[in-house]
Amino acid sequence: MRLPLFPLSLVLYPSQIVPLRIDEPGLREVTGKCISMGEPVGVLCKQDGKLSEVGCTARISRVLQRYSDGRIDILITGEQRFRILILHDEEQYLTAEIMFLQDRQGMPRPTARERVIAQHMRLMEIAGRTIRPSAYEVQESVSFVIARSAGLTLDQRQAVLEMSSEQARIDFLVDHFEEFIPRVEKAQALRATIQSNGHLDFEEI
């Protein structure tokens, strides 16, 4: 399959909905074609001038606004992971021949799944956000749902996208939360101390 590409400074996951403003002429051309023909695009993370080899296809699910200068605001919805086989750059925009990626067979360990959900709920609590347990009752991989708001760097998000099993992604997120949540809790406690006392003693660090 050959896809037009959106090189962006983000990592898109299956079923994730993301708003985008398209202003580059080449990407505007791709957007117009995909809207008119109902075809997907391939979203790839571009960082420091380097394009990732693994991305996620997306549908343009809604046009939010069109501007007189040609810019356009859209919503995209992630669909399937893919890997680039051959990259083409002979047009105004990049295209690629791709292969779709599938997870290895096997269900994740229930205890690991429960643990990562509990960790994510704790992180959301610290952040002051309420999340319903039903949000994790998804048909697709719960790891992709959690990774969207897990405090991951761009490199970490890309690493999650490239992993070939749900268990591997869950194990990665559990390890990440083990290190990340205590740091967030400490930062929150320090902010509370500063706000209540007006100062911070070095002994508290």
Whether 52 shows a pLDDT value over 80: the answer reads: yes
pLDDT score at 205:
35
CATH 2.30.130.40 boundaries in the chain: 2-100
Angle at which helices 154-162 and 166-197 cross, to 10°: 160
Q: Is pLDDT larger for residue 73 or for residue 135?
A: 73
Tell me the mean pLDDT in the region 98-118: 92
Binning pLDDT at 50, 70 and 90, where does residue 194 land?
low
Q: pLDDT-derived band of residue 108, with 50, 70 and 90 as boundaries?
A: confident
Class of domain 2-100: mainly beta
Mean pLDDT for the stretch of residues 32-51: 93
Query: 63 pLDDT band (50/70/90 cuts)?
Result: very high
**Distance separating alpha carbons of residues 19 and 177, to the nearest angstrom:** 27
User: Mean pLDDT in the chain?
Assistant: 90
Q: What is the mean pLDDT of residues 177-197?
A: 80
pLDDT at residue 190 greater than cutoff 90: no
- Residue 201's pLDDT is 46
pTM confidence score:
0.88
pLDDT at residue 68 in the model: 93
**Using 50, 70 and 90 to split pLDDT, how confident is the model at 92?**
confident
Question: Using 50, 70 and 90 to split pLDDT, how confident is the model at 60?
Answer: very high
| pLDDT of 197 strictly over 60 | no
pLDDT at 130: 82
pLDDT for 195 equals 64
Which range has the top average pLDDT, 100-114, 133-147, 160-174? 160-174
Output the pLDDT for position 138: 77
